[in-house]
Structure 1
């Protein structure tokens, strides 16, 4: 029986067509082994894993440097100064009128809660930093230039909190745990005040 199987295999691979197919298969596996996977980091991209509801952001969230527009200029900063208090990330884009229309509400909450709650804008869609600066500093449509700092040219945060549309608001508690991902309707005084009042109220 074994001799018969071996003989049939020998006849099969003796043909040129079978040898060509075998060579193609070997080549495919070889290329697959040498081509870096996009999520492996071998191609130089550091793909961040999305944060699940109730879990903390990675330590890199606080220590990574971001380009931030604040007080009329761009600087590179970490988010370390935002650690230890509830934080809302407001994802926006220059082509999103409803995002820009919500800036005054974010500024208002920032003034009301001051050192009890942190807010920061995040732009993950626009690469034109001058255009971003113009939107953030320009008056119009009944609003003043926003007083809230904005991260620009972001890639990392959009990986942590994947989304396709804006505005999207990411709610982190004082321990950096993801509490919610919401639309603009959820950004109201009851929700913001409730999060501030719960601060330090639970176990770490």
Structure 2
């Protein structure tokens, strides 16, 4: 009888853990259409100031590029992102956000110094995610892009495949974006 009770308890626990594992994590606080508060970025590297707010980039669309020093596909896209930033410089600001808990300011600084040896004209600002950006835009799979229009409303949340010249032209022109939504996950 004791063995049967233990077996039943184990079966119920397995079912509960299985159901828990299949639950989708709750999405980030802000989704497409929501207006973003005036987020403050601190300790920005590769920028004319070590801090900035979204409002500092008035009249520009913003592309937040969440990355990590250990994410090879993120880093591989940096030259493309830098090129797109230069192409749309009057109407767009790309901001690289190091969102991994494994990265800190010193690690990002070291990474940037090495990266700029191979890419001396690299100009994208890099910021370490702060509690505000982590709370708003939680992403488990990197790279992760949040597209913000001139009106500071989220226009899209995507993966790297959607970051194209044509889609950025639509963003900076204020046209609707019909891009597939990348699911935002908790946990980094």
Whether TM exceeds 0.5 here: the answer is yes
Structure 2 counterpart of 1:113: 88
Shift of 1:85: 1.6
Shift of 1:100: 0.6
Structure 1 counterpart of 2:141: 165
Distance in 2, Cα, partners of 1:149 & 1:131: 15
Distance in 1, Cα, partners of 2:44 & 2:168: 24
Instruction: Map 1:139-154; keep pairs closer than 5 Å.
Output: 139=115, 143-144=119-120, 146-154=122-130
Q: Is the 8 A contact 2:150 2:172 kept in 1?
A: no
SS in 1 for 2:157: strand
Cα offsets for 1:102-139 (capped at 9, x unmatched): 11111001111111111110012144322211222324
- The answer to whether the aligner puts 1:75 opposite 2:54 as a matched pair is no
**What are the ranges of 5 or more consecutive residues in structure 1 without an aligned counterpart?**
1-48, 200-204
Q: Is the 8 A contact 1:168 1:181 kept in 2?
A: yes
How many residues are treated as equivalent by the alignment?
147
Shift of 1:144: 4.6
- The answer to whether the aligner puts 1:175 opposite 2:154 as a matched pair is no
1:91 aligned residue (50, 60, 66)? 66
Structure 1 counterpart of 2:36: 57
Distance in 2, Cα, partners of 1:145 & 1:191: 24
SS in 2 for 1:170: strand
Distance in 2, Cα, partners of 1:95 & 1:167: 11
- The answer to whether the aligner puts 1:136 opposite 2:112 as a matched pair is yes
SS in 1 for 2:110: helix
Shift of 1:140: 8.1
Shift of 1:84: 2.7
Structure 2 counterpart of 1:11: none
Q: 1:107 to 1:95 in 2, by over 3 A?
A: same
**What are the ranges of 5 or more consecutive residues in structure 2 without an aligned counterpart?**
1-27, 176-188
TM-score normalised by structure 1 residue count: 0.64
Question: Of the two structures, which has the highest relative contact order with CA contacts closer than 8 Å and spacing of 6 or more?
Answer: 2
Q: 1:130 to 1:114 in 2, by over 3 A?
A: same
SS in 1 for 2:63: strand
Q: 1:141 to 1:186 in 2, by over 3 A?
A: farther
